[in-house]
């Protein structure tokens, strides 16, 4: 796109308005890091480390295996893993084979995973050697195109002593029984050559990753993201971020090589964790700490505090609930978390008091960012300088990105500064489109001045200083702990219960997680049910963060003249009760 100067006197000093050097395949991030910093540590997991050269070697072997297995350019390969050191190696191996990585939420239930595998037409799935994860995978692949399951055991990625002790004590997770024909990742890596196939990649056109996002009009949709969606995003983030590495120095770009250490507390199946931690860390040649379960410890989140004190991370991308967990942890004063220099916050608004508490404790700078799964994810960010950061806003568009505020009823009309409308985005990070959903694509894209803008569904305005602020959501999306929850998806699952006549789902304010899910249920005539019964049904059919925290039975649920459930009425009634 042509360089556009965002009209504001507060644009951060030294930051370019465009980036240009991002037209390359996504796996080049790993290749370059392995070339420039071969012996630098890439991943840290339970005391064990993997260097960039080791990660590249494994990724090359996985790519070789996939090619030998018949995987062609554009085929889908699913990853069903928490934040383990195998994940980036598998991810890059899939891309090196020319395939598309389909990232799956590791806490998905069998029906949720089955839908994603089936819809994406995945042919292979990588999963964890674990009693629950593996069992769910075996059930979920039924009726799908998956013909190969590759199982990842953490033993070979642990220090030898821990692996030996864990094996003797039975503490290393392991599936109860392995199905015939399923393969072990360690065997594949040992038997394959470190020679990936030669694949012609068009970074601007070829899909690299498929990430699933929910919607108000049906089940989750696969967002097709090309290589440059991600390479632009990390290069733009690198251009944007300016931090003070030593107190006597001026702010500068994040230093590359064996300098920074990222806390991998966000899940890497999610776009924010994938780009803001795993890929951004790789671009820098930084260390990345694998945190499979942020809530581990007693009380919860204590293990993260121990990890921060031990490994001294300098950078963190996180949702507001993570900063809340730091700020409100009862043992926070017992741990040294002063190593942080800078943090990206996204996924939901960051409460100013939480921001202040964390910054006072660490002397780090938090800059809020904004984006969506469909934009890989970052679109805007606050300046990383305290004097030009505006807490509560989402800052300015990232380099090479343009934001417009459009009329909600007619998205071809651009509004003036100060007017609330729908936020629309144009830039190299905007997805190709939704997989097999031309109808959905028509709903979210609009042509303006010859460019294709993505309608975000968020309502906001640009103030006179050029800062962008979100004021509301056009959609009924609920944000739980930084994760998007879509009422229609939850309602559709509730409707599979043969006792349910009508269901409506809303979000209600929660201090810890931002919002909680509340479900209103109208039972069929003659049926009866308990809240506990419905909670168990939800537990069996949806991921934890999607499950309704509150369930209320109603004799009648309000509907419009055409029978549409009126969530707004339920929200208003619920808010009145809370007053």
Structure tokens at 13: 């000093």
HEC secondary structure over 466-481: CCEEEEEECCCCEEEC
What does the pLDDT look like over 426-447, one tens digit per residue? 999 999 999 999 999 999 999 9
Residue 49 pairs in a beta bridge with 44
Domains 400-473 and 484-578 share a fold: no
| pLDDT band (50, 70, 90) for residue 562 | very low
Lowest mean pLDDT among 121-130, 158-167, 218-227, 300-309: 158-167
How far apart, in whole angstroms, are the C-alpha atoms of residue 288 and residue 280? 10
Phi, psi values for residue 260, rounded to 5°: -85, 155
Phi, psi values for residue 153, rounded to 5°: -105, 140
Lowest mean pLDDT among 41-45, 49-53, 326-330, 486-490: 486-490
What is the model's pTM? 0.86
Virtual torsion, Cα 396, 397, 400, 406, nearest 10 deg? -130
Query: Within 13 Å, how many C-alpha atoms sit on residue 439's CB side?
Result: 4
What does the pLDDT look like over 485-540, one tens digit per residue? 878 788 878 988 999 988 889 999 887 777 899 999 999 889 999 999 999 999 99
CA 405 from chain center: how many Å?
Answer: 25
**What's the CATH class of domain 50-201?**
alpha beta
Q: What percent of the chain has pLDDT over 70?
A: 95
User: Is the pLDDT at 304 greater than 70, yes or no?
Assistant: yes
Rounded to the nearest integer, the mean pLDDT of the chain is: 92
How far apart, in whole angstroms, are the C-alpha atoms of residue 431 and residue 373? 9
For Cα atoms 466, 470, 474, give the angle at the middle one, nearest 5 degrees: 135
The domain defined by 400-473 folds into Luciferase; domain 3 (2.30.38)
More confident residue, 548 or 475: 548
Report, as an integer, the average pLDDT of 306-334.
91
- All residues at 6 or more sequence positions from 315 whose CB lies less than 8 Å from its CB, including other chains: 254, 260, 261, 262, 263, 281, 286, 340, 341, 342, 343
User: Is the pLDDT at 214 greater than 80, yes or no?
Assistant: no
The domain defined by 484-578 folds into GMP Synthetase; Chain A, domain 3 (3.30.300)
Judge residue 29's burial from the number of C-beta atoms within 10 Å of its C-beta, 0-12 exposed, 13-18 middle, 19 or more buried: buried
How far apart, in whole angstroms, are the C-alpha atoms of residue 264 and residue 279? 11
More confident residue, 5 or 292: 292
User: Is the pLDDT at 216 greater than 50, yes or no?
Assistant: no
Structure tokens at 344: 């990206």
- What are the residue ranges spanned by the domains of the chain? 50-201, 400-473, 484-578
More confident residue, 110 or 172: 110
Distances (CA, A) of 423 to 374, 392, 454, 456: 14, 16, 8, 6
More confident residue, 226 or 512: 226
């Amino acid at each position: 796109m042509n360089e556009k100067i965002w009209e504001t006197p507060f644009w951060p000093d030294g930051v370019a308005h465009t980036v240009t050097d991002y037209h390359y395949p996504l796996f080049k991030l790993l290749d370059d890091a392995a070339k420039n910093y071969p012996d630098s540590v890439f991943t840290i997991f339970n005391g064990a480390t993997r260097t960039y050269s080791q990660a590249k070697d494994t990724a090359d072997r996985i790519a070789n295996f996939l090619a030998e297995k018949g995987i062609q350019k554009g085929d889908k390969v699913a990853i069903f893993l928490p934040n383990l050191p195998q994940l980036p190696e598998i991810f890059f191996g899939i891309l090196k084979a020319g395939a598309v990585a389909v990232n799956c939420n590791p806490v998905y239930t069998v029906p949720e995973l089955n839908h994603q595998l089936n819809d994406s037409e995945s042919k292979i799935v990588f999963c964890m050697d674990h009693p629950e994860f593996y069992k769910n995978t075996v059930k979920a692949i039924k009726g799908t195109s998956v013909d190969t399951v590759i199982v990842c055991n953490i033993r070979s990625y642990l220090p030898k002593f821990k692996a030996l002790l864990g094996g003797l004590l039975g503490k290393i997770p392991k599936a109860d029984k392995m199905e015939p024909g399923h393969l072990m990742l360690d065997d594949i890596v040992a038997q394959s050559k470190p020679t990936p196939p030669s694949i012609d990649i068009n970074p601007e056109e070829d899909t690299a990753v498929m990430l699933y996002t929910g919607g108000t009009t049906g089940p989750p949709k696969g967002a097709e993201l090309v290589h440059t969606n991600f390479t632009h995003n990390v290069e733009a983030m690198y251009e944007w971020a300016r931090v003070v590495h030593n107190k006597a120095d001026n702010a500068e770009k994040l230093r590359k090589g064996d300098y920074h250490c990222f806390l991998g507390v966000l899940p890497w199946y999610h776009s924010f964790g994938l780009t803001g931690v795993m890929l951004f860390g790789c671009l820098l040649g930084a260390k990345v700490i694998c945190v499979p379960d942020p809530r581990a410890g007693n009380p919860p989140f204590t293990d993260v505090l121990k990890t921060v004190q031990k490994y001294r991370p300098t950078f963190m991308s996180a949702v507001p609930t993570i900063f809340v967990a730091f700020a409100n942890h009862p043992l926070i004063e017992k741990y040294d978390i002063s190593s942080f220099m800078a943090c990206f916050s996204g996924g939901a608004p960051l409460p100013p008091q939480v921001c202040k508490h964390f910054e006072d404790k660490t002397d780090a700078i938090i800059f809020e960012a904004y984006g969506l799964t469909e934009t890989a994810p970052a679109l805007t960010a606050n300046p990383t300088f305290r004097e030009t950061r505006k807490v509560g806003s989402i800052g300015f568009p990232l380099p090479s990105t343009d934001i417009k505020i459009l009329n909600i009823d007619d998205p071809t009309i651009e509004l003036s500064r100060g007017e609330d409308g729908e936020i629309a985005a144009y830039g190299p990070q905007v997805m190709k489109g939704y997989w097999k959903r031309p109808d959905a694509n028509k709903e979210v894209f609009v042509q303006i001045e010859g460019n294709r803008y993505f309608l975000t569904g968020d309502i906001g305005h640009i103030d006179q200083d050029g800062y962008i602020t979100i004021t509301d959501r056009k959609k009924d999306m609920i944000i739980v702990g930084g994760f998007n929850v879509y009422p229609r998806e939850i309602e559709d699952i509730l409707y599979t219960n043969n006792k349910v006549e009508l269901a409506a789902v809303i979000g209600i304010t929660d201090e810890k997680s931002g919002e909680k899910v509340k479900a209103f249920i109208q039972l069929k005539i003659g049926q009866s049910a308990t809240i506990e019964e419905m909670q168990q049904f939800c537990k069996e059919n949806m991921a934890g963060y999607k499950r309704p925290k509150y369930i209320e039975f109603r004799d009648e649920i309000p509907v419009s003249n055409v029978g549409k459930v009126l969530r707004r009425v339920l929200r208003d009634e619920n808010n009145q009760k809370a007053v």
